[in-house]
Structure 1
Amino acid sequence: MDPVSLVVGGVLLAVGFVAGRLGRRRPSGPVTPQAVCSCGHPLSQHDPERNTCHAEVVRDTYNKRGRWAGHTWVACSCRQYIGPRPIDEVFAPRVLPPS
């Protein structure tokens, strides 16, 4: 083997090692998908009996002159959960408590 090919192979090995160290993906734990409504809140924040959303959202507030004065927390204006339904409600509707 000639020394030039050994140097080229060593350089390619080093470049591959550095590229692998810099470009590797960080392991992020298992991601569980969550059913979300169009308002951005999950099914757990919605009351199916009253058709209301219990979550709060940030709204900007302005003073009398029209200048920004900060944030306030107000109730979400979503009136019904329209996201994906749980699988048990699709195949068999709930029978308890009796209506």
Structure 2
Amino acid sequence: MEPVSLVVGAMIALGGVLLGRALPNRKAPRPQQSSRYPAVAQQRPPTPQPMCGCGHHLVFHDHEKKVCQAQVVIPGKWTGENANSYRKCMCQGYRGPVPVDEYYAPDILDGGM
């Protein structure tokens, strides 16, 4: 190759690197994933929460009667008053997903059944 074209190519490459360094709002490089397991997610998805149709968590519902014990805010503009008022949630029972019970299974030490 010609020495002039090598110098021009090196100057273009160096100019691109310097321009890239000088530009603001650069994003931080992403952490490299293992090449062995590229599809493994770095963060676990959030645990699903047992929410009722009324919008309250399972902890707000009575375990025996299944009635919601939370209070609901009624804005004053709906009732024509200046202040907000509170009333008991009218949910008749928890209708959301039931959390799975956790069980402990002891390890099999002998390897036999």
Q: What secondary structure, in the 3-state scheme, does the structure 2 residue paired with 1:57 have? A: strand
Please, what is the CA RMSD of the aligned residues?
A: 2.8
Choose between structure 1 and 2: higher helix proportion: 1
1:86 aligned onto 2:84: no
Structure number with bigger Rg: 2
Choose between structure 1 and 2: higher strand proportion: 1
Identity level (%)? 32
Deviations 1:4-36 (A, max 9, x none): 431222212444x73215xxxxxxxx8443211
TM-score by length of 2: 0.53
1:45 aligned onto 2:60: yes
Query: Which of the residues 53, 72, 76 maps onto 1:61?
Result: 76
Give the Cα–Cα distance (whole angstroms) in 1 for the partners of residues 47 and 17 of structure 2: 43
Give the Cα–Cα distance (whole angstroms) in 2 for the partners of residues 58 and 80 of structure 1: 19
Q: 1:14 to 1:34 in 2, by over 3 A?
A: farther
Q: What secondary structure, in the 3-state scheme, does the structure 2 residue paired with 1:41 have? A: coil
What 5-or-longer segments of structure 1 have no aligned partner? 22-29, 89-99
Shift of 1:39: 0.7
Aligned residue number for residue 36 of structure 1? 51
Corresponding pairs, count = 77
- Runs of 4+ with deviation above 6 angstroms: none
What 5-or-longer segments of structure 2 have no aligned partner? 1-6, 29-44, 102-113
TM-score by length of 1: 0.60
Give the Cα–Cα distance (whole angstroms) in 1 for the partners of residues 18 and 64 of structure 2: 69
